Amino acid sequence: MAEYKAAVIGLGRMGSTFDDEMTRGGSLFLPYCHAPAYHYSPQTRLVAGADPHDEQRSLFGDKWGLTENHLYSDYRDMVENESPDIVSVCTTARVRPEIVKTLAKSGVKAIWAEKPIAFSLKEADEMVEICNKENVILAINCARRWNPLYSQARNIITAGHIGNILQINAIGECGLSHNGSHLIDTVRFLAGSDAKWVIGEMESDAAAASNEDIRGNGYLVFDNGARAFIRSMHNGGAPWSFEIIGEEGSIRTPNDAQSWELNSYSTSQFPPESNTKKMSGRYPVSHQFPWPIHLQGMGLTIVEDIITSINNSNPPKCSGKDGLKALEIALALRESHRNGFSKVDLPLKDRTLKIESIETKNDQIPARVRKEMESKSG
Q: Determine the pLDDT at residue 110.
A: 98
* Residues 38, 150 within the same domain: no
Q: Where are the alpha helices (DSSP H) in the chain?
A: 34-40, 54-64, 75-82, 96-104, 121-133, 148-158, 180-191, 205-209, 298-312, 320-338, 367-377
If we measure between CA atoms, which residue out of 121, 124, 152, 105 comes closest to residue 113?
124
Q: What number is the average pLDDT over the span 289-294?
A: 84
What is the total count of domains within the chain? Answer: 2
358 in any annotated domain: no
**pLDDT > 70? residue 43:** yes
Q: What does DSSP say about strands 240-246 and 249-253: parallel, antiparallel, or unpaired? A: antiparallel
151 in any annotated domain: yes
Q: What number is the average pLDDT over the span 191-200?
A: 98
CATH number of the domain that residue 309 is part of? 3.40.50.720
Contact criterion met (CB below 8 Å) for 213 and 229: no
345 in any annotated domain: no
Distance, C-alpha 137 to centroid of its chain: 16
Predicted structure pTM score: 0.92
* Residues 120, 169 within the same domain: no
Q: Determine the pLDDT at residue 239.
A: 76
* Residues 281, 150 within the same domain: yes
Distance CA 96, CA 119 (A): 9
Q: Determine the pLDDT at residue 371.
A: 63
Vertex 197: Cα angle to 342 and 122 (nearest 5): 95
Average pLDDT, the chain: 91
Q: Determine the pLDDT at residue 293.
A: 76
Q: Determine the pLDDT at residue 272.
A: 43
Banded pLDDT at 27 (limits 50, 70, 90):
low
Q: pLDDT by residue (tens digit) across 83-134?
A: 999 999 999 999 999 999 999 999 999 999 999 999 999 999 999 999 999 9
Largest CA distance in the chain: 70
HEC string for 43-88: CEEEEEEECCCHHHHHHHHHHHCCCHHHEECCHHHHHHHHCCCEEE
Residue type present at position 335: E
* Residues 106, 216 within the same domain: no
If we measure between CA atoms, which residue out of 202, 195, 262, 261 comes closest to residue 228?
195
Q: Determine the pLDDT at residue 359.
A: 78
Coil/strand/helix, residue 354: strand
Q: What number is the average pLDDT over the span 171-199?
A: 96
335 in any annotated domain: no
Contact criterion met (CB below 8 Å) for 286 and 263: yes
311 in any annotated domain: yes
152 in any annotated domain: yes
* Residues 161, 79 within the same domain: no
Q: Determine the pLDDT at residue 376.
A: 62
* Residues 164, 110 within the same domain: no
> What is the number of H-type helices and E-type strands within the chain?
11, 16
* Residues 80, 161 within the same domain: no
Q: Determine the pLDDT at residue 314.
A: 96
Contact criterion met (CB below 8 Å) for 231 and 201: no
Give percent of the chain above pLDDT 70: 88
Coil/strand/helix, residue 215: coil
Contact criterion met (CB below 8 Å) for 346 and 330: no
Q: pLDDT by residue (tens digit) across 261-289?
A: 999 886 555 544 444 444 445 677 888 89
235 in any annotated domain: yes
Instruction: Select from 287, 309, 330 the last residue of a domain.
Output: 287
Q: pLDDT by residue (tens digit) across 317-351?
A: 999 999 999 999 999 999 999 999 999 999 999 99
Q: Determine the pLDDT at residue 341.
A: 98
Q: What number is the average pLDDT over the span 68-77?
A: 98
331 in any annotated domain: no
* Residues 150, 23 within the same domain: no
* Residues 104, 156 within the same domain: no
* Residues 92, 163 within the same domain: no
* Residues 237, 304 within the same domain: no
Strand partners, 220: 198, 228
Distance CA 323, CA 331 (A): 13
Distance CA 201, CA 5 (A): 45
Q: Determine the pLDDT at residue 231.
A: 95
Q: Determine the pLDDT at residue 278.
A: 45
Q: Determine the pLDDT at residue 275.
A: 45
Q: Determine the pLDDT at residue 338.
A: 98
Q: Determine the pLDDT at residue 292.
A: 83
Residue type present at position 73: S
* Residues 194, 129 within the same domain: no
Q: Which domain holds residue 16?
A: 4-143+297-319
Residue type present at position 374: E
CATH number of the domain that residue 179 is part of? 3.30.360.10
